[in-house]
Amino acid sequence: MSQVVVAVDGPAGSGKSSVSKRAAMELGFGYLDTGAGYRALTLTALKNGLELESVGELDLDSIFPYSISTEPSNYWVKVGPDDVTEAIRSKEVELNVSKVAAQPKVRSFMRQITRSIAASCELPGIIVEGRDITTVVMPDAQTRVLLTASEEVRLGRRAVDLQADGSISAQVSDRDKKDSKVVDFLNPAPGVQLLDTTDLSFEGSVAALVELINH
């Protein structure tokens, strides 16, 4: 595994992906967006007409040849030979990914993929971000951070990211509320540091994360 492993958890819209990616670039670390895997699997299921709620019962190794770059300045996501970097950010995927990500067998499968990819990174360190990273996927990471923000700020950021209208924003809000019932986004687990970005700019959030990592 890389010399330094940083685990960053947090809810949708907190800024964990963009902040983690920029911090990795500044530190010369690798960056692993674990949410991309769930999105890519959701996209695969949608393309092939699979039942989203039972994807976890399938042979995921055979239907999902997944790969992702850990180089923050050259980010890409692929399923087989197909580059799906942009496709996984579609509104259709956004509105269906929670159906796939909630399945225990899917989460177990993605957990193993995440650990394998992180272990293969040859850079001095790697920032791994996503849900349950600090407590389930990478509980032994040297630095573990819960990056959060108020619900109002998070929803505003998601609406901008998705260029969403009011109805889409409402659906995203519903998804975030469901997710928040599963993972505690306000109270970090023992050993996990809290980084609240509610009142921070993007640059300020990056600087704060870098400081926590270097501390």
Q: The pTM is what?
A: 0.88
The residues pairing with 125 across neighbouring beta strands, listed in sequence order, are 4
The total of structural domains in the chain comes to: 1
Look up residue 88 and give its two tokens.
Answer: 């996984």
Overall average pLDDT of the 12-18 stretch: 87
176: CB partners within 8 A, 6+ apart: 11, 12, 13, 151, 154, 155, 158
**Which pLDDT band holds residue 2 (cuts at 50, 70, 90)?**
very low
pLDDT of residue 173: 61
As a whole number of angstroms, the distance between CA 5 and CA 7 comes to 7
| Confidence class for position 38, pLDDT limits 50, 70, 90 | very high
Whole-number average pLDDT of the chain: 89
pLDDT tens digits, 122-177: 999 999 999 889 999 999 999 999 999 888 888 887 776 666 555 545 655 665 66
Q: What CATH number is attached to the domain comprising 167? A: 3.40.50.300
The 3-state secondary structure of the chain reads CCCEEEEEECCCCCCHHHHHHHHHHHHCCEEEECHHHHHHHHHHHHHCCCCHHHHHHCCHHHHCCEEECCCCCCCCEEECCEECCCHHHCHHHHHHHHHHHCCHHHHHHHHHHHHHHHHHCCCCEEEEECCCHHHHHCCCCCEEEEEECCHHHHHHHHHHHHCCCHHHHHHHHHHHHHHHCCCCCCCCCCCCEEEECCCCCHHHHHHHHHHHHHC
Reported as a single tens digit per residue, the pLDDT across 52-84 is 999 999 999 999 999 999 999 999 999 999 999
Domain residues for 23?
A: 4-214
Span 74-99, mean pLDDT? 96
